[in-house]
Amino acid sequence: MSTPARPLSPHLSIYRFMHTMALSILHRITGVWMAFGCIALVAWLCSAAAGEGAYARATAVLGSAPGRILLLLWLAAFCYHFVNGLRHLAWDALLGLEKRTARISGRVALAVALTAFLALAYLLFCPWVAAP
């Protein structure tokens, strides 16, 4: 006695890969990456509360080349996740759900996130900009 075939749920092998899928996956990845950034932020704040020695060590780690790269990656993740989150809020308001509009808003979100990242990275990581 055989059991009837159960319907299969849609999965990646059924759908044609589109850039909107990549943007959705990237949104999730940046959210996870920012969670690790929050852990680093808490560690930095705890070092500030622990005293001058601990704060100096934490600042040295974050100021090193690998630390700066991690900070840049967290900044990039924040910019993309924030802009794409606004896009998702528009979808929640039933705006821009059509295929064409979703593709265009994805490109716009990438462009705005990249522009915001470059501007913030320039302001935060170029010391001569902030000098009076």
pLDDT tens digit string along 85-97?
Answer: 999 999 999 999 9
Please indicate, yes or no, if residue 130 is contained in any of the structural domains. no
Structural domain boundaries, residue 75: 20-125
Predicted local distance difference test score (pLDDT) of residue 20: 85
Stronger pLDDT, 78 or 16, i.e. the higher one? 78
Please indicate, yes or no, if residue 9 is contained in any of the structural domains. no
* Residue 31 structure tokens: 């959210």
Q: Which amino acid is at 48?
A: A
Please indicate, yes or no, if residue 4 is contained in any of the structural domains. no
Please indicate, yes or no, if residue 37 is contained in any of the structural domains. yes
CATH number at residue 112: 1.20.1300.10
Number of domains composing the chain: 1
- Average pLDDT on 57-85 reads 97
What's the CA gap between 111 and 3, in Å, rounded?
51
What's the CA gap between 40 and 74, in Å, rounded?
10
pLDDT tops 90 at residue 12 = no
Q: How many CB atoms lie within 10 A of CB 90?
A: 14
Stronger pLDDT, 3 or 51, i.e. the higher one? 51
Judge residue 70's burial from the number of C-beta atoms within 10 Å of its C-beta, 0-12 exposed, 13-18 middle, 19 or more buried: middle
Which of 120, 118, 116, 124 shows the shortest CA–CA distance to 62? 124
Q: Where are the beta strands (DSSP E) in the chain?
A: none
Please indicate, yes or no, if residue 132 is contained in any of the structural domains. no
pLDDT tens digit string along 30-53?
Answer: 999 999 999 999 999 999 999 999
pTM above 0.85, yes or no: no
